[in-house]
Structure 1
Amino acid sequence: MSNFFQSQSILAHPFRPFFLLTGVYGVITVIAWMSFLFGGLSLPLGWSPVHWHSHEMLFGLIPLAIAGFLLTAVCNWTGAAPLHGKALLALIIIWFAGRVAMWTASWWPVGIAAAVDLLFMPVMAIYMTRVLLRHGNKRNLPIAAILLLLSLANVMMHIGFITSDPQWLRRGELMALGLITLMMIVIGGRIFPLFTINWLRNQGIQIECVKSFTALDRAALLATLLLIPADFFTGTSWLTGVMALIAGTLNALRLIGWSGWRTAREPLLWILHLGYGWIVVALLLKSAAAFNLAAPTAWQHALGVGAMGTLILGVMTRVALGHTGRTLTLPRFAIAIYVAITLAALARVLAALQLLDYRVGLLVAATGWSLAFATFTLIYWPILTRPRADGRPG
C-alpha cells in the first residue's frame, strides 16, 4: 500500500494526501449531516447528531486542512525535509482511525472512541515541536501550542459526551472555534499581505497601497485571543459582546489595510481576502448575538462555512499549485469552487438570521459546500497525485 502511494507521489509531501482527504471528507460529513436531518439516516454514533456534526467539522475535517498546511509550512520555516512515506502514512492512519471511532462510537466501551480520536492532533503537535526545536525556530512554537490547546478542546467535548453534560460540549466547541479563528488570523496576517504585495509588484502596480501596522496587528491578535477565555468563563455575555466587537473592528481595519480589492483580477488572491472578511463578519455577528440582536448560530456558521470553508479552499487551491511546481493560475473551471463555497456561506448565514427559509437555506448551503469540496477534489486530484511539474522532489 505504501509503495503504491509513493509511486503516485501522494506520500511525497504532507499537503498532497491531507488536501485530498479534506476535499473528500468535506463532502462526506455534510452529506451525512443532511441525511440525518432530512433522510432519517441512522449510524452507530453514540453522540447526538448535532454534537457529532459539530465535532466532526471541528476535529475531523479542520485538522486535515491544518495538517496539510502546517506540515508543509514547517518545511519552509525550518528547511527540514517533509514528513513523507511510511511516517506520513502512519499519521494518516491515526486520523482515519479517529474517524472510524467517531462514526461507530456506540460500538465501543466508553472512552475508547475518545482515546483513538484524541491521538491525531497531539501527535502532529509533538512532531512539529520537535522539528521547530531541532532547527532553532522558536518563533513558530505558539502554532504548535494552539494544536495542543485544540486537543484540550476536543477532550472537553468528549467529557461532555461521556458525562452527558452539555456545558462541557459547549465549552469545547467554543474553545475550538476561538482557537481556529486565532490560527487563521495569525497565518492570514503573515501570508495574505505578502501574497498581495508580490502579485501587485508582478503586475507593475505600486505596493505602497498594502499597509500593515505592527500595533494594529498585535491589538487584533490580543483581542481575538482574549475572546477564548472570555467564552470559557462567561459564555455569551455583554463582556464577550464588547470584546467580539473590538476584535471584529480591529480585524476589519487590518483587512482594509491589505487592499484586497486591488486583486479582483486574481481569484487565487481575492478568495483569501474574502475568507478573512468572513472572520470579521463572524466576530461582529458574535457581538450582535451577545446583545440579542442576532441568532447565536449566525456567527458560528459565518465562521465555519464562511471563514473556515473559504480559507481552507482558498489556501489549498493556491498551495497545491505552488508546491507542485505549477504556475499560480487557477485551473479551468476551478472558479466554481469559490462560487459554490460563497453561495453556501451566504445561504447558511441568511438561514440562521431567518432571512431565508431554514430548510431551503440548509439545502442550498449543503449543496454549495459539497459542490465546492467535490470540485476541488476532482480538479486537483491529478495535480496532487502526480510528480511535480518542474521535476523536483516533493
Structure 2
Amino acid sequence: MSLNLDNQQTGGPSSAFALWQLGFRPFFLLGGLAAVILMVHWLLIYLGYMTAPYFANPAFWHSHELLFGYTVAVIAGFLLTAVKNWTGTPTPIHLPLMLLALVWLAGRVVIATGDVLPPMLVLVVDVAFLPLLALAIAVPLLKARQYPNLLIFVGVLGLMTLANLLSHLDHGVVRSLTGSGIQLMVFLVMLLIAIMAGRVLPFFTETGLGGIKLKRYPWLDRLAILALLGYALVELFSLGEQASILLAGLAFLSHAARWLSWQHPGLWRVPMLWVLHLAYAWLVLSLLFGLLAHLDWVPAVVEVHAFTVGALGMMTLGMMARVSQGHSGRTIGASRLTVLAFVCLLLAAIVRVVGGIFAGGGYSDSIVWSATLWLVAFVLFVIEYAPVLIKPRVDGRPG
C-alpha cells in the first residue's frame, strides 16, 4: 500500500517538459513555491510593511494559507501519486491535472485579492479545490474497489472542505465562529500524518536499512490513532479540561511508544529517514505540549508550532524530496542541499518552539528567525527539485 520509491537511475536525463505527467510534479512545485511566497508575505506583514489580504486578522491569514494553500498542495501531490500506485488506475494528468492545479492557484489569487472581491466569491473559489481533489482520487479507488482507502482519504478531504468553509465563515460571511475551521484542519492534518506514517515509516526504515525487520504492534497503531481522534474531538467540542488532559496524555504516550517501536540506530545515518522520524517526533512533542498547555505550564501556541513547523513542515519536506526522487526514476538519497534544507527546517521548529515557551523579550526575534530558516529550507528545495519535477523520468518510463 506504500508508494514505490525505489526506482533506480538507468538512463540519461531528458530536456523535455514533463510537469503534467503525474500529480506530484505540479503540486510539489506549487507547494514549494507557496511555502516561500507565503512566508515572505507573512514576514512583511509581521514587520509592518504589508497588511493581510482578505482575512482581517494577519495570524488567521497566515494559518489559513499555510494549511489550505501550502499543505493542501502537498497533500494533493501525494494522494494523486499514491492512489495511482495503489489502484493501478490513472489519476488526472495533462489537461485535467493542469485544470486542477489552476483551481488551487485561483484559490490563492482570490485570497490575495479578496479585499476587492465579494466574500462569497472568494469562499466559493477557494473551497472548490478539495472537493475536486476528492473526486479525482475517488474514481480510481472505486474502480479498484478499495473501499477502506476511499472511506479514509475521501472522508478526510470532505472534512477538510468543511474546515475551509468554516474558516471563511470565521472571516466574516457569518461571523458566528472563532477559529473552528483552522483548529479542525490542524487536527485533520495531524491524523492524516499519523495514519500515513504508520504505513510508510516502518516500510521506509526496513528497506532503507537493507531489509531489517521492525516489530509491528497493530494494537498500538489503533490505540494511537483512536487516542489522537479522541483528543481532537474533545478539543473541537470543548468537552472539558479533564478530558483534554486525559486524552492528550494518552495520545502522547501511545504515539511516543509507536515512534520508539520504529527506531533503529542505523536510520540516524540516513538523512532521507531521519527527517521523517524527526518529523514524527515533533508530532509526539506537540501532543506533550498540548498536555502541558492544559496544565498551564506552556502557552498553547507552542503545541501549534511544534506540529505545524516541526511535524508538518519536516514531514512534507521529507516526503516531497523522497517522492520526487523515487517517481522520477532516481536513486533515493539526500544531497548536501537537501540535508541543509532538512537542518534549516529543524532549526526553524526549535527556534519557534523555544521562543514560544519562554515568550520573553526575544519572542519577536524568534518568529523572524524561524520564518527565515523556513524560507531558506524551501528555497533550497525549489532550487534542487524544480528541475526534477519539470523534466521527465531519467529511466524513460512515463510518470
Q: What's the TM-score once normalised by structure 2's chain length?
A: 0.93
Whether the 8 Å contact between 2:52 and 2:58 is mirrored in structure 1 is no
Whether the 8 Å contact between 2:20 and 2:26 is mirrored in structure 1 is yes
- Please state how far the C-alpha of 1:42 moved relative to its aligned partner: 2.9
- Please state how far the C-alpha of 1:62 moved relative to its aligned partner: 0.5
- Please state how far the C-alpha of 1:184 moved relative to its aligned partner: 0.1
Amino acid at match of 2:390: T
- The correspondence for 2:391, drawn from 346, 364, 386, is 386
What pairs up with 1:56-67 in 2 under 5 angstroms?
A: 56-67=65-76
Query: What is aligned with 1:330?
Result: 334
Whether the 8 Å contact between 2:201 and 2:277 is mirrored in structure 1 is yes
Amino acid at match of 2:127: L
Whether the 8 Å contact between 2:90 and 2:140 is mirrored in structure 1 is no
In structure 2, list runs of 5 or more residues that go unmatched. 1-14
Query: What is aligned with 1:147?
Result: 157
CA distance in 1, matches of 2:107, 2:63: 15
Query: What is aligned with 2:132?
Result: 123
Query: What is aligned with 1:370?
Result: 375
- Please state how far the C-alpha of 1:39 moved relative to its aligned partner: 3.4
What pairs up with 1:243-392 in 2 under 5 angstroms?
A: 243-354=247-358, 357-392=362-397
Query: What is aligned with 1:228?
Result: 232
Let me know the Cα RMSD of the aligned residues: 1.6
Change (3 A) 1:63 1:269: same
Change (3 A) 1:87 1:78: same
Whether the 8 Å contact between 1:277 and 1:307 is mirrored in structure 2 is yes
Query: What is aligned with 2:166?
Result: 156
Change (3 A) 1:173 1:237: farther
What pairs up with 1:87-236 in 2 under 5 angstroms?
A: 87-141=96-150, 142-163=152-173, 165=175, 168-202=177-211, 207-208=212-213, 210-234=214-238
Amino acid at match of 2:389: L
Query: What is aligned with 2:6?
Result: none
In structure 1, list runs of 5 or more residues that go unmatched. 1-5
Query: What is aligned with 2:12?
Result: none
CA distance in 2, matches of 1:90, 1:111: 22
Identity of aligned residues (%): 36
Amino acid at match of 2:364: R
Query: What is aligned with 2:7?
Result: none
Decide which moves more: 45-54 or 264-273.
45-54
CA distance in 1, matches of 2:364, 2:168: 30
CA distance in 1, matches of 2:193, 2:262: 15
SS in structure 1 at match of 2:347: helix
Deviations 1:325-361 (A, max 9, x none): 0001113422111011001000011111126721221
CA distance in 1, matches of 2:126, 2:279: 28
Amino acid at match of 1:247: A
Q: Which has the higher contact order (CA 8 A, sep 6+)?
A: 2
- Please state how far the C-alpha of 1:201 moved relative to its aligned partner: 2.5
Whether the 8 Å contact between 1:305 and 1:345 is mirrored in structure 2 is yes
Change (3 A) 1:60 1:252: same
